[in-house]
Amino acid sequence: MDIYHTIIRPLVTEKTTHQARSTAKNHGGTYSFEVHDEANKTQIKDAVEKIYGVKVVNVRTANRAGKLRRFRFRFSRTPQTKKAIVTVDRDSHIDLF
């Protein structure tokens, strides 16, 4: 899988913005990305390191189920997505804004 197909988009919310600015003892900030459903942690790590030029320390993934929504006279589901939370090295930083 191509690195530009692995990462779909960064997730920018109030919570992820706060997590990106906070640092732990030996780690930098954490950044959230929407990733391809079939991407594994090593593929996500390689893609983030090559695209943004940072050192990745840890990758956590979560599958987000689609929600049931009402469209006009029927019900449908929003798409299922996969989210990756990437922790970077203390000396690394990603400029998303």
CATH number of the domain at 12, please. 3.30.70.330
Alpha helices in the chain (DSSP H): 3-6, 14-21, 41-52
For 24-63, the pLDDT digits (tens) are 777 788 999 999 999 999 999 999 999 999 999 999 999 9
Question: For the chain, what is the domain count?
Answer: 1
Domain assignment of residue 96, yes or no: no
Output the pTM of the full model.
Answer: 0.86
Domain assignment of residue 97, yes or no: no
Domain that holds residue 32: 3-89
CA distance 89 to 6: 21
